[in-house]
Structure formats: structure tokens, C-alpha cells
Chain A
Amino acid sequence: MATIRRSGELLLTIINEILDFSKVEAGKLAFENSDFDLRGTLQSCLELSAGAVPQGGVDLSVEVHAAVPHCLVGDAGRLQQVITNLLGNAIRFTEPGGSVRIRVHPREKAEDRMFLLFEIEDTGIGIDAETQERLFEPFIQADSSTTRKYGGTGLGLAISRRLVEMMGGEIGVESEPGKGSVSHFTAGFGYRPEAEADPGSGSIALRGPPPSESGERNFQISPSLSRKSRRENVLPENPVQRPKLLLAEDNPVNQKVALLQLRKLGYAADAVANGVEVLAAVEQIP
């Protein structure tokens, strides 16, 4: 069953990537421009990528500089696509026991637009200089044996590059074979001054903690999200100031699809896989 599921998932990824790539190439990719919570988006990226973490675990963490606004304006789905792609690669090429870090820093700030630098650093196998140059071309992988060992379609990075360019940024990678890689990109977003960022009105928190004020501190999601712990992982902060959602769905593909759909609608959700876990999760709500 697991194999069928995995194959189906991979096929779905390939189809989606080819569709996306042809849309990007045809210049037909629509970009949304709506408010989103960057920290919530990053959390979704981690949740989506946690499934790729090998047995034994890889330490995943996120650090967002305190000067990065909470509410950005742009296409959260496309940003998420780029990050999950780079994150997926980083995890795929990192051996158990290694670590993958996401860092987000402010770059340039214009009146109503802000450029952010995203870095995804891993302790993986690294990439040689020659391959680094070709990496963002379609259908390039480090070498053809890579596909068999690590999977992937070879389209993800090419799509990511186009998406980043559409967000007014650049993408690149620095790496030394054997020592790991840092892939990075810049992207521009609209932003709201912090005073207006609090959605307050119309917030209809069902149950759960009030949104915490964390303006001064860097936002961190850690410690490691390993295969074992990710379901129980309760984040200290409410990433999106919306009601708390819990998704109960045992099929991992359906779970991912539902989480993505929720994400697109602006909702963050925790996910569990059976009724017992539902009861346990509800019990934890203060």
C-alpha cells in the first residue's frame, strides 16, 4: 500500500510540475496578490516537507528576523512552492542526523515593497561547481544516477527560478561537495505596517490561545520535526491569527491535499491520522 501511495504521489508531483512548467514557459501563470502570514506559510512548508524526512530524523528549523513584517502581500502559494522545493531537495540530500535550516532576512525596503532573502542551508552531500551553474535549467540533476537514488523530476528548480524571477528576485546556490549547500533566493512583497497587521476584527477564535505578541524576538520553529514527533509538535505561537483547525485524515496524500487547500484559503491546521489522536489533540487545547 505504502509503495502504491508513494508512486501515486510521485506521479502527481511530476504531472503538477510539468503542468506548472509549461504554464510558466507560456507566461500564463497567474500570481495572486493577497495578504498572508509569512510565519504561517513557513510552518506549512515544514509540515509539507516533514514527510520526506528519513528515518533517524533531520533537524529542521526556521528563523525569521524580527524586522520581517508579519503580514506580507503576495502569492503565498507560489512562495510556498519555491520553499518546499528547495527544502525538499535539502532534506533529500541530507543524511539522517544532519540538519536543514531556513533563514529569512530583510533585504531592501522601499515605501510599499520589501525584498526578503531566504536561505535554506543543509549539511547534505553538496554540489560541485560545474553542476551548480546548470542546476536551475530544466531536467538537470547532479548526475543521472541521482534520480534513482534520490528521486525528483529535475523540473522543480527550473520552476522555482521562474517563480522567483516573477517575484522580482534571484535564485542561486552555494555549495562545496561533502560540506552541504546553501540555496538562496530573494523575493519582493508588499507589506503592511505592523500597526495595521493585526487582523483583530472578525477574528473568531474557536478555542485556543490568543495570538502572542512576539515582535521583539525572532520567530523560531524548532526543535527538530522528525518523522516521529511531527504530529505531536505543538507550536508555541499561533502562526495565523485565525481559528484553530484540526484536520483528521488517515491518508497522507489526502491529508497533504487538504492542508494545501486550507493553506490557500488562509488557514493553518494541525493534522492527525485517527480518532484517538483527535481526542489527544483536543485535550491539549487550553
Chain B
Amino acid sequence: MDCQMPELDGYGASQRLRQRYPDSGLYIIALTASAMVGDRERCLAAGMDDYLTKPLRATDLEDALQRWQKACTHFN
């Protein structure tokens, strides 16, 4: 989920997803160009589960997907 998008950004979309589907197994990985202090917290506060910065590196993406798989297995 890119954080900076037109119309409804990633923060807003995540908040709404969490409100609408509170108990779903949805897993949201934030993708943001701003590697600012506090940005990660902002993403997590919006209901996202993980956080990646741009430019997106394949290894980082792979790690994030593995964290997700772990989270899913744990969840089940």
C-alpha cells in the first residue's frame, strides 16, 4: 500500500479497511517514499502491519512477504 496516492491515500484506505473489516485476515504492507522518523509509527497507527520504503528492493519485499506468511501461520 503506497502511502501517497491521489483521492484516498494509503493511511486513509488502511483506516477504512480496519473499520470495515475489523476481524479479517487482511495484512497491509505500507510503501512510502518518506523515510522520516515517526513515519513507521504513523503507518502502524493507521492500521498497517508492516512498512517498506521506496525505492523498493526485491530483498526487502521478500523479507516482508515472509514476515507476512509467518504472521498468517501464527494467526491460524
Chain A residues proximal to chain B, CB less than 8 Å: 204, 206-207, 243, 248-251, 254, 257-258, 261-262, 264-265, 267, 273-276, 278-279, 282
Contacts and interface: CB of A to CB of B under 8 A. Distances in A.
A250 B16 contact: no
Given A274-B5, A279-B8, 7 more contacts: A204-B73, A206-B27, A249-B5, A250-B2, A250-B4, A276-B8, A282-B17
Nearest to A266: B65
Interface in B39-76: 54, 56, 58, 61-62, 65, 68-69, 72-73, 76
A249 B61 contact: no
A261 B20 CA distance: 30
A153 to B, nearest CB: 24
B14 to A, nearest CB: 8
B10 to A, nearest CB: 7
B31 A249 contact: yes
B69 to A, nearest CB: 6
B24 A279 contact: no
B21 A282 contact: yes
Contact of A265 (B1, B6, B25, B58): B58
7 contacts: A250-B6, A261-B61, A265-B61, A265-B65, A274-B9, A275-B8, A275-B10
Nearest to A264: B58
Contacts, number: 75
B61 A262 contact: yes
B2 A279 contact: no
A262 B29 CA distance: 13
A261 B56 contact: yes
A117 B13 CA distance: 44
A278 B21 contact: no
Contacts of A248: 1-2, 5, 10, 13
A279 B26 CA distance: 12
B69 A204 contact: yes
Contact of B26 (A207, A262, A264): A207
Contact of B56 (A204, A258, A274, A282): A258
B65 A267 contact: yes
B12 A275 contact: yes
Contacts of A254: 2, 54, 56
B65 A279 contact: no
Nearest to B72: A204
Contact of B25 (A206, A249, A262): A206
A261 B27 contact: no
Contacts of A265: 58, 61-62, 65
A207 B72 CA distance: 11
Most buried by A among B5, B7, B16, B61: B5
A274 B65 contact: no
B20 to A, nearest CB: 8
Contacts of B17: 278-279, 282
B15 to A, nearest CB: 9
